[in-house]
Amino acid sequence: MHEISLCESVLQVLEQQAITQHFKKVKIVWLEIGALSSVEPEAMRFCFDAVMENSLADNAKLEIIYIAGQAWCVSCNKNVVIEQRYDECPDCGGLQLQINNGEQMRIKELEVE
Amino acid sequence: MCTVCGCAEGETQIEHHHSHAHDGHHHDHEHSDDHIHVEGEHTHDYGQGAAHAHVAGLSQTRMVQIEQDILGKNNQYAVVNRDYFSQHGILALNLVSSPGSGKTTLLTKTIELLKDELELSVIEGDQQTTHDAERIRATGVKALQINTGKGCHLDAHMVGHAVENLKPAEQSLLMIENVGNLVCPAAFDLGEAHKVAVLSVTEGEDKPLKYPDMFHAADLMILNKVDLLPHLDFDVEQCIQYAKQVNPRIKILQLSAKTGEGMESWGQWLKASRALHLINYKTGGS
């Protein structure tokens, strides 16, 4: 979807962190992207290089940590893995699911110098 | 243009304010400095120090834990907007839909319906042109256009600036018409009380399944253009079922902004939401 804007947000965070954490160059960026986060990892990779060009993260490597979608099934009383927001419970077919993981899009850590 | 808003640096344009009632008396509106420069001091000279400090053969590479939400900055602005709306008793709604679902017509008809009872103002988001804001202003209501340029959605930062210019009245209803797009606006909190998804029956009934993030994020779905149902194969019950599948809490209203059918219920929903919103305003809670 808006992967360019997300990459620009990532760059802003890197620029702020460069000041507070005293680094000058970013070599690797680890992002946690949840399956339910509405971020397309491939589109993110596509935009990342372009957005980081001529910045402190020029030529930085992007590592995406994919987080599976997870929800609590009220009927089964346990966590189940889901791939999309409207999935049924893979075990009982119920729709009473409360999503509890896989919505995140976070910058997890950086390798810097 | 301000460089802190992520989506369209240098592209976003916010109309200058068109309210003529505000010459000179600035009351306690948001202070733009606090708002704009939350963390906006960018310096771009990182490239210079490393060569001097670097010792050959000694790597300076290290790991930095960040654990920061990518949309964290937008969310900070959204909190500022939400506080502002709350302090001024303004009910802000974020109208989202595909292009052509009839949002602007719905808004002009809503204004006709309610303008004698409460004060309204409108923020219009589109990539280009001020057509929509002009349509709203023709109804006599304050409206301001944000052109997002290349951007595909409004963000909380743009809306914060628009609110500074528009200066919605105390205890008023602020309608924010987002860029016609069922994807990106779902992720960007503007500080609104509710997202309202408008779906017209000339679209497919499976839109809630195709764009689940948006229908999941919305509190209300308006099924618009129901006057056309006799001419279409649109399955209303199936559509409602899909919407509930994606979001069991979603409320649904069926209406036709054109014929006025169902507009009464929408008016009631707006007045009830505003009344609930004003409870905190009047009691000083939050």
- Give residue B50's pLDDT: 42
Question: Could you give the CA distance from residue B179 to residue B124 in angstroms, rounded to a whole number?
Answer: 8
Question: If you ran DSSP here, which 8-state letter would residue B230 be given?
Answer: G
Question: Could you give the CA distance from residue B78 to residue B191 in angstroms, rounded to a whole number?
Answer: 4
Q: In this structure, is residue B226 part of a structural domain?
A: yes
Q: Which of B43, B63, B184 sits opposite A2 (nearest CB)?
A: B184
Q: In this structure, is residue B279 part of a structural domain?
A: yes
For B:176-195, CB contacts with A below 8 A are 183-184, 186-188
Tokens of B82: 């939400």
- In the block, which residue shows the tokens 């939350």? B38
Question: Could you give the CA distance from residue B190 to residue B218 in angstroms, rounded to a whole number?
Answer: 13
Q: Which of B70, B72, B212 sits opposite A86 (nearest CB)?
A: B212
Sorting pLDDT into bands at 50, 70 and 90, what band is A38?
Answer: confident
Provide long-range contacts, Cβ within 8 A and 24+ apart, for B29-37. B29/B164, B29/B167, B30/B80, B30/B84, B30/B160, B30/B163, B30/B164, B32/B161, B32/B164, B34/B80, B35/B77, B35/B80, B35/B160, B35/B161, B35/B164, B36/B2, B36/B4, B36/B157, B36/B161, B37/B4
- Give residue B25's pLDDT: 43
Q: In this structure, is residue B18 part of a structural domain?
A: no
- Give residue B284's pLDDT: 63
**Domains in chain A, start-ordered, CATH in brackets?**
3-112 (3.30.2320.80)
Q: In this structure, is residue B67 part of a structural domain?
A: no
- Flag whether pLDDT at A68 surpasses 80: yes
Q: Into how many domains does chain B fold?
A: 1
Q: By three-state DSSP, how is residue B36 classified? A: helix
Q: Any idea what the CATH number is for the domain that residue B237 is in? A: 3.40.50.300
SS (H, E, C) B236-280: HHHHHHHHHHHCCCCEEEECCCCCCCCHHHHHHHHHHHHHHHHHH
* Strand-pair category, A69-73 with A97-101: antiparallel
Residue B55 dihedral angles phi and psi, to the nearest 5°:
-110, 125
**Between chains, do A23 and B64 touch, taking CB under 8 Å as contact?**
yes
Q: Could you count the other beta carbons within 10 Å of the beta carbon of residue A103?
A: 17
Q: In this structure, is residue B17 part of a structural domain?
A: no
**Between chains, do B43 and A56 touch, taking CB under 8 Å as contact?**
no
- Give residue B231's pLDDT: 97
Q: pLDDT, tens digit, for every residue of A84-109? A: 888 899 999 998 889 999 999 999 99
Q: In this structure, is residue B80 part of a structural domain?
A: no
Query: Which residues does chain B have within 8 Å of residue A95's beta carbon, measured at their own beta carbons?
Result: 245, 248
Please state, for a pLDDT cut of 90, what percent of chain B lies above it: 67
- Give residue B6's pLDDT: 41
Q: Which of B70, B238, B249 is the mutation pick for testing A, counting most A CBs within 10 A?
A: B70
Asked if B176 and B93 count as a contact pair (C-beta separation under 8 A), the reply is yes
pTM for this predicted structure: 0.80
Query: Which residues does chain A have within 8 Å of residue B57's beta carbon, measured at their own beta carbons?
Result: none
- Give residue B56's pLDDT: 54
Q: By three-state DSSP, how is residue B232 classified? A: coil
Give the gyration radius of chain A's Cα atoms: 17
Q: In this structure, is residue B21 part of a structural domain?
A: no
- Give residue A39's pLDDT: 86
- Please give the residue of chain A at the shortest CA–CA distance from B5: A9
**Chain A nearest CA to B3, separation (Å):** 10
Mean local confidence (pLDDT), A22-36:
95
Query: Which residues does chain B have within 8 Å of residue A106's beta carbon, measured at their own beta carbons?
Result: 67-70
Asked if A42 and A64 count as a contact pair (C-beta separation under 8 A), the reply is no
- Give residue B184's pLDDT: 86
Query: Which residues does chain A have within 8 Å of residue B249's beta carbon, measured at their own beta carbons?
Result: none
Question: Could you give the CA distance from residue B162 to residue B143 in angstroms, rounded to a whole number?
Answer: 10
- Give residue B251's pLDDT: 97
What domain range includes position B221?
Answer: 90-283
Residues of chain A contacting B, Cβ within 8 Å: 1-2, 4-6, 8-10, 12-13, 15-19, 21, 23-25, 27, 31, 38, 56, 84-86, 95, 104-113
Q: In this structure, is residue B247 part of a structural domain?
A: yes
- In the block, which residue shows the tokens 């460069």? A18
Q: pLDDT, tens digit, for every residue of B31-90? A: 444 443 344 334 344 433 444 444 555 567 899 988 889 988 899 999 999 999 999 999
Please state, for a pLDDT cut of 90, what percent of chain A lies above it: 76
Tokens of B32: 């733009």
Tens digits of pLDDT across chain B (286 residues): 343 344 344 457 787 654 444 443 444 444 444 443 344 334 344 433 444 444 555 567 899 988 889 988 899 999 999 999 999 999 999 999 999 999 999 999 999 999 999 999 999 999 899 999 999 999 999 999 999 887 788 999 999 999 999 999 999 999 999 999 998 899 899 999 999 999 999 999 999 999 999 999 999 999 999 999 999 999 999 999 999 999 989 999 999 999 999 999 999 999 999 999 998 787 765 5
**Chain A nearest CA to B42, separation (Å):** 7
